[in-house]
Structures are given as C-alpha cells and as structure tokens.
Chain A
Amino acid sequence: MEKVRLENLSKRFGTFEAVRDVTLEVFEGEFVVFLGPSGCGKTTTLRMIAGLEKPTRGEIFIAGKRVTPLPPARRNIAFVFQNYALYPHMTAFENIAFPLEAQGIPREEVRKRVQEVARVLGLEHLLHLRPAQLSSGDMQKVALGRAMVRRPQVFLMDEPLSGLDAKHREEMRAELKRLHMEIQATTIYVTHDQIEAMSMADRIVVMNEGTVQQVGSPREVYLSPENLFVAHFIGSPGMNFIPLVFLGKNQGFRLENGDIVRHEVLEELAMRHGVRECILGIRPEFLSIGVSGEIRGSIVSVEPLGYKNLYAVEIAPGRIIRVEDMRRERFSGNVSLGVHWEAACLFDRETGQRMRWEHG
C-alpha cells in the first residue's frame, strides 16, 4: 500500500530548476533514501513533501490524500532537521514534549509519551539538560524523539547524521536501523553519503541536477546502475570506466592500448544497440590480478587497507583503474587482469546510459 506519492513534482527558484519532474511512490513501512551530491534537489524535494516549500508544479499525496496545498501542520508528518532545530531555551524533555503541548494534550499523557520515547532512545538520564549541554549525538536523538513522539504518518529526515563525527555516525546509523525495524514507520531520508544510503535503505532514489537518475534497492543500484552517474556515485572506490570501441560482429572490442578483447554476450549487446563507442564498467572487486587475463597493465601504486589491497593499474597511457585483491601477497610491475564478466556493465559512451537487454 502506498504511503507517499509524488507526481511530476517540480520546483523552480527564479530561473534555476532545482527539482524537475519527480514521480515516485513510497510504500507503507519503507525506508527510502534520497541520495545525491549537494545541489541535486533532494533536500528541496523533501521540504516540498513536508510543506516547507511550495512546488511550482506537480502533486503530493500522503496516505491517498492530496496534501499539495496544505501547510505542514495539516500533513501529520515529522521532520528531523540537519541542524536539529532544538529549542535552545528548553530542556530535552520540553523539546520532545513541545509537539504534544502544541496540540493541547494533557500533561500526564505528555509525560508518559515523552518518557516512553526517551526510553526507546536511551535518553532518560538526559531529559533535564539543555541542548547546549548535550553532545551532538544526543542532540540528534532528542530531535528524533521530538519527531517520534507524535506518531506521524511519515518521517522525513534531512541529512540528520552529517553533523556527527565518523564514530557517532556509525552508531547512529545502527540505531536508526534498529528503530526502523522496531517501529516500522514510513521514512524518507536524505543524504549525500552513499554508505549511509547503502546500509539503511530499502530503496534508494539517486538524484542529480534535479532529476531522478535511478530508483532501486541498494543491490540494484550497486550492480545494475542505469547510467554513468549512478555507477560512478555509488560504491567506494567507484566503478572503473574503461573505454572500448566495438569493431563489429565477431570482431570484439578494441582497448585504448590497441589490444582486442572478445566476449560473445557483450558483443551481442553492443550489436543490438548499434553502438560503436562503449564504456566498460567494472568494479575493482570484480577484477583479479593474474598471469593470464583479458586486460594488460602495470601496477602504479598500492594502498594496503588491512584485509585487502587496492591497486592502481595503468592499462593505457593516462588510464588508471583500480583493482581490489584479497590475497596477502603484494604484486607489482606488469600484470594481466582477469575480468568477472557477469558483473560487468556496458555503457553507451555518448548517452551515458547502460545498455540493457530489454529495449526501452
């Protein structure tokens, strides 16, 4: 059952189009992440769903009801701000109690619900403190508590973890995931950090320059990116892009260094799409260093990352790709790289789109 539906949502600021034609469905209980670089429109879209910005075009539905003209107060949503937006002159308790008091709920009931939320978040011993006396992690929890205490239809979160240091961010990520599993609330979460997105989302909405690039599960966007942007943005280190020229049926692809590479399935794909200039996308962990492989190159540098080594390999003048290897030995010099073709993607160099089997 759908909880939130966006139809052709657009927002223009003067001549700048921040959000262009976003159409999306979010289902009951789902954790959806809007992911993209800064300025891609994800926060603006979120704010439109909250009612903090008015869309230039398009409609928003929450639980089947058209909320587009309604102010935030009438949408029964909760919003967690990037800078927490905690009232500095009130204690943590009063901050969390604020939304309930705004609705005139009697004091006893308020206290009960605040205590409950505080217990879930582990804040009981901090309730009497003011925001200035709390760590940023605790402040974030109070902001979360304020959102949770109302039991809204949808939780909207705007980069809530960006103000925390790396260690706390990890803890809060786990905490949010746990909460989501416990409460099963529909959540729309905005971030530019793809690790956050990958670890928390049921589905990821990748955005760039105001438009939706791809919607899919973390696995889908990781293994089957729709275009070069998604392929590059997701994954750390990012996907390798190797330019190929398709020479024709049964003739294979030519690499930049002049070598020829043959792969029946991919050649068929390029044939079907009639594309000559291609890009082979392959992630570092799907390449292996060996003696016999499809791609020749020489190792430029190695980053030892503990349990794995990350190699920078030059396969053509100026073309350096990354290869991940889990073995203990350190390699160097000229190598031959083996390609795990089942994980490879073929992109049209001109359009940036991935070539798929079903014609779109």
Chain B
Amino acid sequence: MKDGAKLYRKEISEYRMKLLFIGPTILVLIVMNIFPLLWSLGLSFTNYSSLVSRKISFVGFANYAKVLSDPLIWRYFQITARLVVVAVGVEFLLGFGLALLLKERFKGWGLVTTLMLIPMMLSPVVVGLFWTFIMDANFGLLNFLLSLFGLRRVLWLTDPKIALYSIALVDIWMWTPFVMLISLTGLLAIPQSLYEAADIDMASFWFKFRRITLPLVSPLLILAVLFRVIDAFKMFDLVFIMTGGGPGDVTETISMSLYRLAFNKFKTGESCAMAYIILILIIALSNLLIRWIQRTRA
C-alpha cells in the first residue's frame, strides 16, 4: 500500500517539461544555424575578405549583382543541372528496375539486399578516392574491363567531354541503392490480394503494372527522387576529390565554384552573397520536398 503522502512527489509541470526537453534543441539549432547565417548575410553586403586585411566597407547589393551577372556562374549552374539530371535520371531507372527484380524473396535475399546498400553508406571521400583509382587511364580497372570487350581506353577524368559523366557514374554507383531501397519499400507495401484480384479479373502483366504497381509506388518514388535531386545539387565532396572542377572547368559545380571563391580567391563577402543565392534555391526545392512529405504522411 503506497503511503498517501508519498503520492505527492514533486511533479514537474508539463509546460516546464516541454521547455526542458525541447528548449535546448531549439536553442542549439538557432545559435548554430541562424546566427552564422545572419552573420554571413551581413557580410554579403560588404567587401570583406578573410585574407586581405583592409577596411570593411558596405557595398550594398554589389556582390549580388556581380554574382548574378557573371556568365561563368550561369555556366556552372548549367553544369550542375546537367549532372543532376543525368545522375538522378539513371538512378531512378536503375533503382526502380532493381527494386522490381528484388520484389520476390529468395534464398539469401536479406544478405543480397544489405550488401547492395553498402555503397551509399560510405564516405564520399572514400568513394571518390577509389573510383579515381579505378578510373585511372593507365592501370585502372575500368579501362582494363573495356579492353576485354575490345573497346578503346577512356580518359575518364581527364577527357573534358567525359569527366562530368564520370562523376555522374560514381554518383549513380553510390545512390542507386537508395532509390532501390525506397522503391522496394513501396513495392512490398502493396498487398498481394490486389494482384490476386487482378489475376482473377484476367488482367495482363502490363495492365497490372500500369494500373496497380505504378500508381501505388509513385508517392515513394517521387520522394526518393526529390531527396536525390536536392542532395545532388549540393554535391561537393565527390567533385573536389575526383577532379577539383577540372579539367579546365568542365566539372565545376556551383558548390565547387563557391568553395573556390571563398577559400581560394578569399572573396569572402562575394562568396556570402553567392551562398545566399544558392540557399534560396535550395530552400525552394526543399519546400517542395517538405510539402510532398506532408502529403504522403496524410
């Protein structure tokens, strides 16, 4: 029998508990995210350079104008867009195709699927490094495999016409499993009885695919693609490790060019402006994603 007095242990109020539990998180996020963002917003309106010590002066929107009117920036934007479209497009097709192959279980299914998911868990540095090794024009494995089929060797990372697609290839290698995983989740969620009912109704294979599989899997597929598009746009590590934006500037993605602006040319103020422009773009894309997530959760 509990002592009546003991029942009145000091109970912290719900409000205080909420504050205690959520407060620190929000605080950390604001300080670590908002604060630096505001600081750099301020910097974007100046001619500050982290290297050259000179008097900081206010330049208004000059930096933004410079960035937006620079044809090179637009070129890099196009390069990035091309990379995203090619990489995510192939990931989408391959990933979904793989998921269709893996829809039915077989012996060792668990092991096979887990093994296929390793590429996307690795660090981009690691991936970039060993693919650079594999893509080496002389002793790389890839050119060796090509020679087995009687094909000429390719200058994967040094041929200006191909370099961007080589990077796309590596991205595809890394992230196809992601699309596969999400598609598979969607496919496995479709109840078997729907297909049985369609079988009884004499539906052909294509009819079933078109009218049942595709519509029911597309919400998740679109989610996966949106995630990938946003991530691919931000791509930096792979490019930095594998080509550094070269040869020339054929693989200069916008993240790469931003890095160069800030840490090679040390035009800090200008780079803050460019960073903000990219930020607004990403926020727009992310809003799409968030909106979509809300829709699928409903």
Contact = CB atoms under 8 A, between A and B. Distances in A.
26 contacts: A51-B199, A52-B196, A52-B199, A71-B199, A72-B196, A72-B199, A73-B199, A73-B200, A73-B202, A74-B202, A78-B201, A79-B196, A79-B197, A83-B191, A85-B193, A85-B197, A87-B211, A87-B212, A98-B198, A98-B203, A98-B211, A99-B203, A101-B211, A102-B198, A102-B207, A150-B201
Interface in A78-120: 78-79, 81, 83, 85, 87-90, 98-99, 101-103
Nearest to A50: B200
Q: Top 9 nearest A-B pairs by Cβ distance? A: A99-B201, A102-B203, A73-B202, A85-B193, A85-B197, A72-B200, A72-B199, A79-B200, A89-B215
Interface in A1-58: 50-52
A150 B203 CA distance: 13
A85 B191 contact: yes
Interface string B181-209: 00000000001011011111111100100
Given A51-B200, A85-B191, A102-B204, 13 more contacts: A50-B200, A71-B199, A72-B200, A73-B199, A73-B200, A73-B201, A74-B202, A78-B201, A83-B193, A85-B193, A87-B212, A102-B202, A102-B207
B204 to A, nearest CB: 7
- Which of B211, B212, B216 gathers the greatest number of chain A CB atoms within 10 Å? B211
A317 to B, nearest CB: 43
A124 B161 CA distance: 62
A77 interface: yes
Chain B interface main SS type: helix
Interface residues of A, number: 24
B207 to A, nearest CB: 5
B211 to A, nearest CB: 7
Given A89-B215, A89-B216, A98-B211, A81 B202 contact: no
Nearest to B194: A85
Contacts of B215: 89
Interface string B117-156: 0000000000000000000000000000000000000000
B68 to A, nearest CB: 43
Contact of A77 (B193, B200, B212): B200
Nearest to B202: A73
A78 B203 CA distance: 13
A52 B194 CA distance: 12
A70 to B, nearest CB: 11
B193 A81 contact: yes
Given A98-B211, A102-B207, A85 B201 contact: no
B295 to A, nearest CB: 14
Interface of B: 191, 193-194, 196-204, 207, 211-212, 215-216
A88 B203 CA distance: 17
A81 B202 CA distance: 16
Contacts of B193: 81, 83, 85
Contacts of A101: 207, 211
Nearest to A94: B211
- Which of A50, A87, A90 gathers the greatest number of chain B CB atoms within 10 Å? A87
Contacts of B212: 87
Contacts of B216: 88-89
A73 B196 contact: no
- Which of B198, B200, B212 gathers the greatest number of chain A CB atoms within 10 Å? B200
Contacts of A83: 191, 193
Nearest to A152: B200
A83 B215 CA distance: 20
Contact of A73 (B194, B203, B211): B203
Contacts of A77: 200
Nearest to A81: B193
B202 A103 contact: yes
A103 B196 CA distance: 16
B197 to A, nearest CB: 4
A85 B196 contact: yes
Contacts of B211: 87, 90, 98, 101
Contact of A81 (B197, B201, B203, B207): B197
A50 B212 CA distance: 21
A27 B145 CA distance: 67
Nearest to A88: B216
Contacts of A88: 216
B275 to A, nearest CB: 42
A194 B216 CA distance: 38
Contacts of B202: 73-74, 99, 102-103
A150 B196 CA distance: 16
- Which of B191, B193, B194, B201 gathers the greatest number of chain A CB atoms within 10 Å? B201
Contacts of B198: 98, 102
A88 B211 CA distance: 11
B193 to A, nearest CB: 4
Contacts of A102: 198, 201-204, 207
Nearest to B203: A102
